[in-house]
Amino acid sequence: MSLPTFRRLVSKEENLSHHKLSIMLSRSSLILRRGSVFGVRSMSRVTVVEDSKLEEAMKPGNKVLYFTATWCPPCRAIKPVYEKLSNEFEDIQFLKIDIDQNDQAAIAYKITSVPTFVFMADNKTVTQVNTG
């Protein structure tokens, strides 16, 4: 959500229900400077997952698993694109798994390089793309 859009919403807040405004702002982070709104930053819908929570985090439906590592330059480069896609495709679950912290998930999905994307439908792998 852009700053002008946010300002329009706030100025017209009386025309919006509190619930609707909350939903619209839930995916944005306000940047405050000296108590005033300076900017709005969009937040992603990417879920960071640990080994022990992977199966629990996976909801029914379509999903993308993004295997990454903090030391990986291509992973850092693709991160903003992945986060943007997570906001554009709200019907798809976007998960992020760091292979250094979650070696069991990396082994289970046979990850040999990062970044790797695993595309799933109803918890079944459709395709896997190794970009590293």
Cα separations (Å) of 73 from 40, 68, 82, 89? 27, 10, 14, 25
- Nearest CA to 118 out of 81, 61, 66 is that of 66
Instruction: Provide the pairing of β-strand 116-121 with 62-68.
Output: antiparallel
List active site positions: 72, 75
Distance between CA atoms of 68 and 34, rounded to whole angstroms? Answer: 37
Sign of the Cα torsion 99, 102, 103, 109 reads negative
Q: Which amino acid is at 28?
A: S
